[in-house]
Amino acid sequence: MKPIIYLLGNPSFEQDSLPVKLLSKLQAALPQFQFQHLDPTENLPEEEHLILIDTILGIKEVKTLTEEELDKIQSSPTVSMHDFDLGFQLKLAKKLGQIKKVTIIGVPPEGNQEEIIKQISKQLKQ
């Protein structure tokens, strides 16, 4: 079975849509992986090693974060149960033992898609 790489992002919000736009191109470029869009409002899949591709604001090239860097993820203020963001969900899932290892491949909000795919490829092959 192929490892699953989950893509986060909101296709309706331009600044957060790049991972979703890359889905078919990533499938073609990296057939050894299965790419799947994940709605961040749903529960995270319970995986031994959860690999996510998500937009990171303020970067110009692909950057990889590991579980050791989860504390660097800034959480949004939570007012209700609907306000839990990815950082909070990952920290909670890790604490509950639902995931053991997390890798987040962060992509910039915009840029040359072919170059970004090459950078993602390089990160996944490490």
- Two tokens, residue 85: 């963001």
The answer regarding whether domain 4-124 maps to CATH 3.40.50.1450 reads yes
Whole-number pLDDT of residue 97: 82
Domain residue limits, the chain: 4-124
Q: CB-based contacts of 55: which residues, under 8 Å, 6+ apart?
A: 8, 9, 15, 16, 17, 18, 19, 106, 107, 108, 109
Whole-number pLDDT of residue 79: 40
Angstrom distance (rounded) from CA 33 to CA 2? 5
Q: What pLDDT digit, counting tens, does each position of 84-96 carry?
A: 467 777 777 878 8
Q: What pLDDT digit, counting tens, does each position of 64-83 carry?
A: 987 677 666 655 444 434 33
Q: What pLDDT digit, counting tens, does each position of 25-68 carry?
A: 999 999 999 999 998 777 888 888 899 999 988 899 999 987 67
